[in-house]
Structure 1
Amino acid sequence: MTLRVENIVGGYSQVPVLKDVSFDVNDGELVGLIGLNGAGKSTTINHIIGLLTPFKGRISIDGTSIMDDAEKYKAQIAYIPETPILYDELTLKEHLELTITAYGLNSDAAWAKANHLLNIFRLDNKLEWFPANFSKGMKQKVMITCAFMTDAKLFIVDEPFYGLDPIAVHDLLLEIEKVKAAGAAVLMSTHVLDTAEKYCDKFVLLADGQVKADGTLDELRALSHGENQTLDDIYLALAKENENE
């Protein structure tokens, strides 16, 4: 599976936020989308999931764009937003049932995955709870469960660690490793750079709506001429460089 973002120019109005953005996310890869606030990370994600239409360029999954076949394109994506989005009138169980219906999943197989996730995220005794009863972290765990119970080929995870306790962060990273091993691709936007450095295979560094660097940590170090630099060092250097432009 390959997500291909090619020469995207886009945004929310006549003035583009993204300026010729290009990168790939391949099967079995976790790619970290890194950048300052306002760099274009959320705008990039919104274009990939189809909430925004590019002014120019093309986004495809295995060669299929949303313009080619919207249903096929979207069926391959599982998305975990930064702010959990749940239906107030649905219980946790009903959210899971809705996910099964929306993705056309085999009910038995999907519930087997869901029960595993509910157990590790300590939600297994809360199936009849409504969102009003959940903390922010619990709502985030519901979103994670709904995403990872699917058979998606591309997981898009936007700032997933906020609101999660350390055990839940560890459990989420284990689930990401599992879907990677099964051949899925993962694009993760995050400001938690020490965790990204440990777990991501590649990085896309955005600044002012442009890709400033794209590659493995060693490749980013080579670009920044710092053999022992951490991702945090590279990120800070990028921030200072962007401020001085």
Structure 2
Amino acid sequence: MRKGKIVIQSPCHFTSIGIETLFNHSLYTNKPTELVTFKTLEECKEYCVSVSGIDILILALNGKENNLAPLINFISNTLPITHPKTKVLLLVHGRHTEFLSNYLSRNGNISAILDISSPLKQIQKVLDNVFNGVKEDINANISLSLRELSVLNGLLSGRTPIQIANELRLSIKTVSHYKRAALAKLGLPSLHPIFMQCSIPAVTSRYRRVAKIDTQSKSCLPKKQGELIEPPECINMAE
């Protein structure tokens, strides 16, 4: 009988211990199981691309983590290729739950997205459902089309609009249209909130203001009034 393989990624040692404890009380332990734990997403990603047969992947997002791009890129662009049958449970902080549910609602790997501050009984119930192959209702308010997802996933992986247009055999204008449509559905003015999780001032110019995060208010403020820089091409695509 093949061993089941469970991978846990959490930057918090206590969260990892808590998940392992809940796991040890689940019915899934009735079968031979290998449990592997990682602290960083990068370590977890390197492991996942080097092995096969991962049954369940549990990703716990750090409450201080503001850049969601690596997580989305891993789930959207890596897992469907390396582990298309792996069931993924996301444990995230409340402010990320709705956004990730909307963005990842079409992802075949996602079994559940849960607020990490939920009561232990609820987390245990979701874990049991995931272990038993029961997919939770993602509760997405919107649904991105496959083209919209392809464009956003490409941008988040670092590819340029021209590269995406060539890969999808579309024009630059069409790629730009899909990007704008996807961001409008997600309620985002640009891709910056995915990287910074803060409000970005509307900028009509093809340049953007240099911004810094105010650690007290968690808002984005201009570094210097009127200071402008050329944006990375993969983020600020020509409209």
TM score, norm. by length of structure 2: 0.34
The structure that has the greater radius of gyration is 2
Give the number of the structure with larger relative contact order, counting CA–CA contacts within 8 Å between residues 6 or more apart: 1
Point out the structure with the larger strand share: 1
